[in-house]
Chains A and B, each alone.
Chain A
Amino acid sequence: MNEIERTQQRTRSYWFSDGIAELVGGIAMALVGFLMVASERTGVDMLATMALLAMILLFPASAQLVRLMKDRITHTRTGYVKYPRPTMSKRRKIIILSLLISVASAVFVALWGGEYTLDGGVGKVFFVGAGTGMAVAFAVRAVRLRLPRLFASAVVLAAMTTASGFADFGFVEGMGLLLAVLGSTSVITGGVTLAIYISRHPKAPLETL
């Protein structure tokens, strides 16, 4: 990789340099995940409704919060970079690839899982597929952006998907557990990254016209 490519790479991965997106997204994911697990474990309908509401409200709200925090913390310290919106064809490719991996993994587990699939029924096949798809997506992102810490999320997800496949979980509980663990991992990696970022970058003086 030459200096031009290194500069381009740094600019592309700048979004992740402060850990804010992981921290905020992680909190939202962990909350939704814990509510899903709790609703299944306790059988309290109210918790299931709260999980659904959290899913509908928290994810859009967390995007706004990320923008706000970046404006206050990151853009004043190390500047602002606007990225081009991914084209539809690029988005479609990513979605199709993730779905293919998830379905392939689900089919593999359903056909050759043996004892692995006996508990939890069809639901398990889906959350094992979804977990594998998400783990692969994180690993691919880690390689493309050269961010080793995203591997931590990929490894934790893969390990949890495999381990929870042996337990007696249905789809909601299994997915809830995966989201809770992924969210918690993201909160830790994002929080540590943000702390390091703030300590390394004192606030820059305001720009004057």
Chain B
Amino acid sequence: MTGFEFAADPDRVIHEPARLKIMSVLSAAESADFIYLMGETGLTRGNLSVQLTRLKEAGYIKIAKEFVGNSPRTTASMTPEGKKAFDEYRTYLASLLKATS
């Protein structure tokens, strides 16, 4: 026991602030659309799209496209793997705080 177990690498996919914000939103909802995520994260369309793709590639979120009337709607939702990774990341943050306070 070194007492520095918290120093084990955090999940780099979630560790990035914009992606952490996206995961925080999706952890509180079944799904959220592109406009809502843009408003919450403050990211531009292009940047949000990149971050969502990164999370999708990691298997943490699913992206669905649908039409509401004539308007397209892109929604993102968290996968079970994403939920597990998010919970583990929060546990990591808590242990980090505990070890450094």
Q: List chain A positions with a Cβ less than 8 A from chain B.
A: 3-4, 7-12, 14, 71, 75-84, 204, 206-209
Contacts and interface: CB of A to CB of B under 8 A. Distances in A.
A83 B30 contact: yes
Contacts of A206: 71-72
Contacts, number: 77
B28 A207 contact: no
A11 B39 CA distance: 11
Interface string B18-29: 001100110111
B75 A78 contact: no
A78 B40 CA distance: 9
Interface of B: 20-21, 24-25, 27-40, 65, 68-69, 71-75, 90
23 contacts: A3-B24, A4-B90, A7-B24, A7-B25, A8-B28, A11-B24, A12-B28, A12-B29, A71-B69, A75-B68, A75-B73, A76-B35, A78-B35, A79-B32, A79-B37, A80-B32, A80-B75, A81-B29, A82-B29, A84-B29, A84-B30, A204-B35, A207-B34
